[in-house]
Amino acid sequence: MGVIFAKTRKGQEEIATKAGGLTPRVRRVLIFVDGKRSVDELRGMLQSDDLQHTLGMLEEAGYIEVSGLADDAGKRLPPPAQLAPVAAFSELPAIPDPVRLQQARNFMTNTLNAFAGTLGHTSLLDRIERATGHAELRALHDEWYHAIVMSRDGKREAEELRGKLLAVI
């Protein structure tokens, strides 16, 4: 079973005006979201290693929303009463958790060093180290993920690493 996304009014305005400052790659994904294609169909068309992440980011930013489901054959199913969002992040903790914050900081730093190396990423590593809260680390998530995906070994492990980071961030 696959999820089907559709553009929101904000997404349609972004296509027309380019006011949101989306990168060309993210904008291309937004263009292909049409309310008819499932995520699996989009994956086949776009050849994007981080499609799930990009869709989650577009949904969180309000450019797209879940509009339905498709069965394994691609046939659209009647929408359930309420579809849960496919958000990348959980809610921010009401009380900041310094242990989880340090775990997330350590995970981001260690994976960058292991998969992407420090060359070209020292600025990101510094910003990760200086982050004082979950919101600041979340703001660095996309840049971290992109660095991991762009490395040869990280590309293979990116989704698993992302899942582990999302458990603590």
Q: Which pTM value belongs to this model?
A: 0.53
Same domain, 114 and 151: yes
Q: Which residues pair with 76 in a beta bridge?
A: 70
The verdict on residue 92 lying in a domain is: no
Same domain, 57 and 103: no
User: What total number of domains does the chain contain?
Assistant: 2
Residues 16 and 52 in one domain: yes
Give the tokens for residue 159: 């989704």
Considering the domain boundaries, does residue 26 fall inside one? yes
Cα dihedral 159, 164, 167, 168 sign: negative
DSSP class of 38: B
For 5-20, the pLDDT digits (tens) are 899 999 999 999 988 8
| 140 falls within a domain | yes
CB-based contacts of 2: which residues, under 8 Å, 6+ apart?
Answer: 38, 39, 40, 41, 69, 70, 72, 74
End position of a domain, from candidates 10, 44, 77: 77
**Which tens digit of pLDDT belongs to each residue from 48-88?**
667 888 888 898 889 998 888 777 676 776 655 544 444 46
Is 7 part of a structural domain of the chain? yes
